[in-house]
Structure 1
Amino acid sequence: MRNGFLRVAACAPHVKVADVDYNISRIIEKLDGLVKQKTELAVFPEMSLTGYTCADLFHNFMLIDAAAAALARLVDYSREVRVIDFVVGLPVRVDGAMYNCAALVQQGEVSLVAKSYIPNYNEFYERRWWRPLPFPTEREVMVGDVKCRLTNCNIFRSHGAQIGIEICEDLWVPIPPSCRLAMAGAQVILNLSASDDLIGKYDYLKKLISQQSARCLCAYAYAGAGWGESSTDLVFDGKAVIAENGSIIASNRRWEPDHNTVVADIDIQAIDRDRMHTSTFADCAVNEAVGISVADSHISHHASGYDWSDDDKLLRHIDPHPFVPSDPAVMDERCDEILNIQVAGLAKRLDAIGCRTLVVGISGGLDSTLALLVAVRTFDRLGLDRRGIVGITMPGFGTTDRTHNNATALMEGLGVTSMEIPIAASVNQHFSDIGHDPAVHDVTYENCQARERTQILMDMSNRLGGIVLGTGDLSELALGWATYNGDHMSMYGVNAGVPKTLVRHLVNYYAHQQSTSDSVRGLLLDIIDTPISPELIPAAADGEILQRTEDLVGPYELHDFFLYYMLRYGFTPERIYFLARHAFKEYDYDDATIRKWLDTFMKRFFQQQFKRSCLPDGPKVGSVCLSPRGDWRMPSDASSAIWRK
């Protein structure tokens, strides 16, 4: 496979009912096109060689023999091409019984999988033609001149992946065959279908496909009969759908006969990682993979046959901002849910300790603004006076008028208690005490300020009988971009599960969707537009921020991308780099820039684990979390050598 991806197609080409020559010509034409797209595995609809709506013609020897001859042609085709495996549907007669079969054709070899569940209700009366194949069955049969292996208990290898096959109704039963196939190791399920169209059925089917892919932690490629099937009683729109682990990643446009194929790159490595990580999957497999085996074959399964170049585009969308939904409606829903999680976590903590006072440092930056908004919403929900939220600005050597003014105006606009405690004099005294030259703007110069601010917040919380609300976000925790026992510490870190790329969207959502005045909304929007900075180095002569975080540690959108794929899927740096090059292709990041910041991320992520090992409590909001008590347990002295290499 190409870097862990398997290129899969679901196809619903035009058919003519009972015209096998026409149907196979369209299938071969489609396969030729798929080869040009470097497709490795393709699935066609149920009875794709004959058409699904042949009815009693399925018991006619002319049609049965024509389908067998067509299969022989496809076997010859596969011997010549050798780079693509594909599955077609046909009627098969064995010992006087008729079976609805899928034929997997691989480099001249054919494996037949019979339909397990035969519908005989409503518009379906398939029992008139087909028999179910008893489970488990595995035997050699002849289809015309083609020797085949007939089974309903095997999974197959294709280009390094393991695949399972089921047919139409098999998906709709309470325990589909794909459940057992997945438990036995199938990473991709192919479904040859002929599901007719009814009002509301398509939406139900998409949910069924996505849910099955989620339940089985697999990819699911579905090809449904389409244009050309008989419309005597039913209509078929030719559905082509590919799902992966709960998400539909490709689907065709319905009611457009020529838009009948989708091709996508399935992330086999991501599937394997989720199965490995989800321990109950393996526990279930022990009980449910009974009778399923992996088919043996002389076929070379691990060589793609295609020459991949760096310029070959992935046929799937790699979101450059995996934490941030691109759909505005979904974005609003996500923001509301996250804010509610943050508020619920903070409300429980305040209730548990009987606390009615919060102390929070307000810098005029994004993180502290989000923490303040969460605090306000929490107090409103608990029916507490907002004056119990004590926001403290602590201007220092690098504080600019823009951030200072925004901080004080925001606290006033939200109706919280506002205090200002400058830190310059106390930090200068500390410089004198420890013998540090204030003209040297090094890590000591910066961290003294951060720790002085934390000391003020802690001591004020003691004096006021409250707790300190932490403001640091998930991305800062990943990079260790926090002063140990400085802004790293609090009594509750409300933003600990929120990545930096999402923080600005949460603030923006609050600005536009919550009941805020025009002045507060304007302040929030200006804070969003303010460059990210710790403001620990003096500003320029014109008051502009000189110390910009992303100039020092790299763009947060890159780091959040790296963080997502390292923690969510456990990918290697090589693979993360591969994905990043595709995701950020249209952005201003060349390959060298991506490599540079990826190396920075790996180095800092390992070096800074000691800070995460003693994090304050805080709510988990998504699938990526760095809490040492739950999601991420790592030794503080682990080496990053093999990752950076």
Structure 2
Amino acid sequence: MTTLNILMAQMNTLVGGFEGNTQKVIETIQRAEAEHAAPVVVFPELTLSGYPPEDLLLRPSIEIRVAKALDQVRAAMTGGAWVILGYPRRIGTALYNVAGVLHRGQVVAEYRKQSLPNYQVFDEKRYFEAGDEPCVVDIDGVRVGLTVCEDIWEPGPARQAARAGAELLLNINSSPYHRGKRGERWRLVGERARAAGIPIVYVNQVGGQDELVFDGGSFAVSARGDVCGAAPNFEEGEYWLQARRGDTGIELEGLAAAPPMDELEATWQALVLGVRDYVNKNRFRGVVLGLSGGVDSALTLAVAVEALGPDRVEAVMMPFRYTAQMSVEDAAEQSATLGVKHKVISIEPMYEAFMTGLREEFVGLEADTTEENLQARCRGVLLMSISNKKGLLVLTTGNKSELAVGYSTLYGDMAGGFDVLKDVPKTLVYELCRYRNRLGPCIPERVIERPPSAELRPDQQDQDSLPPYDVLDRILELYVEQDCSASAIIASGMDPDDVHRVLRLVDLNEYKRRQAPIGVRITQRGFGRDRRYPITSGWTLGD
């Protein structure tokens, strides 16, 4: 009976970190060979370069770096492992996204990715040429086909591999997370397995890369399309399974199914992993944030502590004359609960200094949002100064709902390096706060229960100038994430005045979003690589 011992190497790579990525590959192969005589070790897409390498692929030295990394891997392969490894490869004048097959120090075959995604966050046609041929390799008596990531989302490549004689398909991936993604993958890969009549092993990378989070969750699907095992989501690791030849073909076994996550848990883990990897991969000592006593900064603090530990997180309460005493108390309580360093620095003196300096400019002019924005900018200056002095990354705390409608201040609460909640609608902020509190004491209950307020003027509440957040978020979901027109949103039952007001604010505030820090992407249409609208435009509102 033929048996292949397959290791799914669910690896967290660093884009452009060829030396570190290569060393991790070598160490993984060595561990696999120590456990089995001739293992099949499967790495994610573009493991050597990391994914997505973006315009690093246009650098002339990319070929030199890939060749050096491959040489190091080949030289280290002293055992009998079969290695499936992703890397960029230039052949002639064309650059390809390749899955290479390495055995006993040689590259014995290479598959060139055929389906190049060019939507949402993907831009592969900018860099790569598409392949057009299958790759099937005999590995210890089993005919193994290869595909790369997007190939599995199209019906052609898997069928092509089966027609070329593949009895088992290995699909290597760098597939980013969004809410609901695991179910989508399982259904889609199951369909491909049934159509091709062969089992599929799906290996995905894990880790944060700028705004993207790769959630791992590698899995195996039988020829009948049933998921027969799955690795954990959001965890780097090595997971074994066996491919055995049975009476009806190759059967997969030996991989337990990791406990499923509900969407709240998955979203929480995505935010935590995104923050942890952004801070660590960019070598920040830690983070600092403004803790206002409001729900957004409370959730941001909770994520940061989970990601980095309390010793690497600092919280600063920056009260002003409009700050409620309960905000000061709640910020202090949460900081104490989580064990983070907590400071209180009033912005009154600097605000007054600015107003004194601007007195002549403001003569005869009524107070308006200028004074509100100045408060936010005083806070931004404080946080950025702490950042510069201590080498800490400033985490901003704005959520997707606020960013969509411009309910934020340039060079104020938008000043910082990373926005944890950038793709998290306000209604989801509340859900995540309650989820986190179910895990243990964290966010004071009245922070969640009190009406949200920026506290920039007396008795201010967010809903003075915005629709209720459940209404706002539904309009934003339809307009931003589903591309619905104003008329379609109104036809769905939303109030016309609310719709036109919200859509106008979204369109007017593109200039702000272009200057906002990046943040973790958790939906299929985040404000970043997903949505690229012009700032200067004559586009008719809401069309």
- What TM-score, normalized to structure 1? 0.43
Residue correspondence of structure 1 range 84-95 to structure 2 within 5 A: none
Alignment correspondent of 2:91 = none
Instruction: State the shift of 1:353 in Å.
Output: 2.5
Q: 1:571 to 1:378 in 2, by over 3 A?
A: same
Alignment correspondent of 1:14 = none
Instruction: State the shift of 1:570 in Å.
Output: 1.3
Instruction: State the shift of 1:614 in Å.
Output: 2.2
Q: Rg larger in 1 or in 2?
A: 1
Identity %: 27
Cα deviation 1:8-63 (Å, max 9, x = unaligned): xxxxxxxxxxxxxxxxxxxxxxxxxxxxxxxxxxxxxxxxxxxxxxxxxxxxxxxx
Distance in 1 of aligned mates of 2:267 and 2:358: 43
Pair 1:344 & 2:273 matched: yes
Aligned residues: 294
Alignment correspondent of 1:405 = 329
Alignment correspondent of 1:559 = 472
Instruction: State the shift of 1:439 in Å.
Output: 10
Retained in 2: the 8 A contact 1:602–1:640?
no
Retained in 2: the 8 A contact 1:606–1:638?
no
Distance in 1 of aligned mates of 2:397 and 2:481: 23
Q: 1:460 to 1:213 in 2, by over 3 A?
A: closer
Alignment correspondent of 1:494 = 420
Cα deviation 1:223-278 (Å, max 9, x = unaligned): xxxxxxxxxxxxxxxxxxxxxxxxxxxxxxxxxxxxxxxxxxxxxxxxxxxxxxxx
Q: 1:439 to 1:339 in 2, by over 3 A?
A: farther
Distance in 2 of aligned mates of 1:440 and 1:567: 35
**AA matched with 2:264:** C
Retained in 2: the 8 A contact 1:431–1:438?
no
Alignment correspondent of 1:475 = 401
Pair 1:414 & 2:334 matched: no
C-alpha RMSD of the superposition: 2.7
Alignment correspondent of 1:534 = 454
Residue correspondence of structure 1 range 571-586 to structure 2 within 5 A: 571-581=484-494
Retained in 2: the 8 A contact 1:393–1:421?
yes
Retained in 2: the 8 A contact 1:607–1:637?
no
Distance in 2 of aligned mates of 1:397 and 1:536: 9
Retained in 2: the 8 A contact 1:428–1:438?
no
Alignment correspondent of 2:75 = none
Residue correspondence of structure 1 range 29-428 to structure 2 within 5 A: 211=187, 333-380=262-309, 386-428=310-352
Retained in 2: the 8 A contact 1:395–1:422?
yes
Distance in 2 of aligned mates of 1:507 and 1:433: 41
**AA matched with 1:409:** E
**AA matched with 2:392:** G
Alignment correspondent of 1:111 = none
* Misfit runs of 4+, over 4 Å: 210-216, 437-440
Q: 1:356 to 1:611 in 2, by over 3 A?
A: same
Instruction: State the shift of 1:640 in Å.
Output: 5.3
Retained in 2: the 8 A contact 1:470–1:487?
yes
Distance in 2 of aligned mates of 1:534 and 1:215: 49
Instruction: State the shift of 1:387 in Å.
Output: 3.0
- What TM-score, normalized to structure 2? 0.51
Pair 1:515 & 2:414 matched: no
**AA matched with 1:478:** A
Instruction: State the shift of 1:397 in Å.
Output: 2.5
Q: 1:212 to 1:355 in 2, by over 3 A?
A: closer
**AA matched with 1:608:** N
Distance in 2 of aligned mates of 1:213 and 1:461: 45
**AA matched with 1:429:** A
**AA matched with 2:446:** D
Instruction: State the shift of 1:615 in Å.
Output: 2.2
Instruction: List gaps (5 residues or longer) in structure 2.
Output: 1-154, 157-182, 193-258
Distance in 2 of aligned mates of 1:550 and 1:640: 28
Alignment correspondent of 2:173 = none
Distance in 1 of aligned mates of 2:492 and 2:305: 39
Retained in 2: the 8 A contact 1:361–1:394?
yes
Distance in 2 of aligned mates of 1:428 and 1:356: 33
Instruction: State the shift of 1:579 in Å.
Output: 1.1
Alignment correspondent of 1:135 = none
**AA matched with 2:452:** I
Cα deviation 1:583-630 (Å, max 9, x = unaligned): xxxxxxxxxxx2111111111111100011122121101223111xx1
Instruction: State the shift of 1:409 in Å.
Output: 1.2
Instruction: List gaps (5 residues or longer) in structure 1.
Output: 1-178, 181-206, 217-328, 381-385, 539-545, 582-593
**AA matched with 1:536:** L
Residue correspondence of structure 1 range 446-485 to structure 2 within 5 A: 446-485=372-411
Alignment correspondent of 1:221 = none
Retained in 2: the 8 A contact 1:359–1:469?
yes
Instruction: State the shift of 1:438 in Å.
Output: 12
